[in-house]
Each structure stands twice: as structure tokens, then as C-alpha cells.
Amino acid sequence: MESAYLQKNLGTCLTQGLAEVARMRPVDPIEYLALWIYNYKNNVTMEQQRQEEMAQLEQERELAVMEQEMMERLKAEEFLFQQQQLAFQLELEMQEKERQRIEELQRAQEQLEKELRMNMESIAKGEDISHGEDEADSGRTLAEISDRYGAPNLSRVEELDEPMLSDVALNIDQDL
């Protein structure tokens, strides 16, 4: 039992210490072994702390890598969001310009329609005036109606229902 206890608690320590004494061959091997065993506990504790620190550093490094990847994804998403926002703003501006262009076209069309109505009204008024003048002028001669110099002074012109050939035209047909 004592050997099991010693094997369990001091086996590794004594084995490594004796190996160190054999390797170094100090002048006082017992004192060297005692100091080595005394420092063994500190060395084991320090090694455990170093391994814990290394594990903690590895975890922190992994967290830092994950955080950096997350930041890169966030930046990419932010960039994509900004691109979408710019595209949306451009679309809104294009729609606004299109709306303004349509409004200008509608205003121009309304103006043209208004001018067309005014022209149609003025033409209609002009016809009404000219019809009124025709009825009023029916008793006047062409010279009185016209402002031109040399206009004939005829009260009316007679038109024949059947066209008559002149004597000259009849003589030409007979000679042929």
C-alpha cells in the first residue's frame, strides 16, 4: 500500500528528479534533489498556469477571429444596405423627375388644348361675324365690299344652268 501511495503521489516527481540528478551529477545530490522536488511543485503549478493561459489565449484568439469575421460581415451588410439605400434614392429621384416631366407634358398639353379651344372659338366667332356680314352685304356690290382698287361694280352675276358652247368652239369641231 505504501508503494501505491508513493507511486501515486511521488512517482512522477521522484522519477524525474532522479533522472535530473543522474544527468547533472551535482556535488551534493541529496540537496539538489530536495531543491528540485521543492521547485517541482512551483514548476508544475507554473506549467498548469501557463497551459491555462495558453488555453485562455486560444479561446480569446478564437473569439477575436469570430468578432473580426462578424465585423467584416456587418461592414459588408452595411455596405450592401448603403448600396440599396443609394439605389432607392436614385429610384426616387428618377420617379420624381419622371413625375415632373409628366406634369410638364400635361401642362403643355393643357396649354395646347386651351390655345386650340381659343383658336376654335375665334374661328367660330369669325365665321359668325362673316355670316353676319354676308347677310348684311347681300345688297351691296362687289366694289363696295372690296377694298381693292379696280374691283368690278356688279350687283350680281348670272350663272347659266347649262354650259353652252361658243360659236368658235362649234366651228372648230366641224372643220375636223
pLDDT of residue 168 exceeding 60: no
Q: What is the identity of the amino acid at 164? A: M
Hey, is 27 helix, strand or coil? coil
Q: By the 8 A CB rule, do 72 and 80 touch?
A: no
Can you give the three-state secondary structure of 48-115, one letter per residue? Answer: HHHHHHHHHHHHHHHHHHHHHHHHHHHHHHHHHHHHHHHHHHHHHHHHHHHHHHHHHHHHHHHHHHHH
Overall average pLDDT of the 81-87 stretch: 94
- Closest residue by Cα to residue 137 from 126, 127, 146, 128: 146
CATH class (in words) of the domain with range 1-122 = mainly alpha
Instruction: Return the sign of the alpha-carbon dihedral for residues 138, 141, 147, 151.
Output: positive
**114 or 170: which leads in pLDDT:** 114
Query: 16: how many CB neighbours lie within 10 A of its CB?
Result: 14
> Is 122's pLDDT higher than 90?
no
State the Cα–Cα distance between residues 71 and 153, nearest whole angstrom.
104
23 near 36, Cβ under 8 Å?
no
CA 51, 38, 56 angle in degrees (round to 5)?
10
**pLDDT(153) > 70:** no
Q: Which three cell numbers stand for residue 92?
A: 426616387
Q: What is the mean pLDDT of residues 115-124?
A: 86
Reported as a single tens digit per residue, the pLDDT across 51-76 is 999 999 999 999 999 999 999 999 99
Side-chain half-sphere exposure of 100, counting CA atoms within 13 A: 6
| Residue-range domain boundaries for the chain | 1-122
Lowest mean pLDDT of 50-64, 120-134, 143-157, name the range. Answer: 143-157
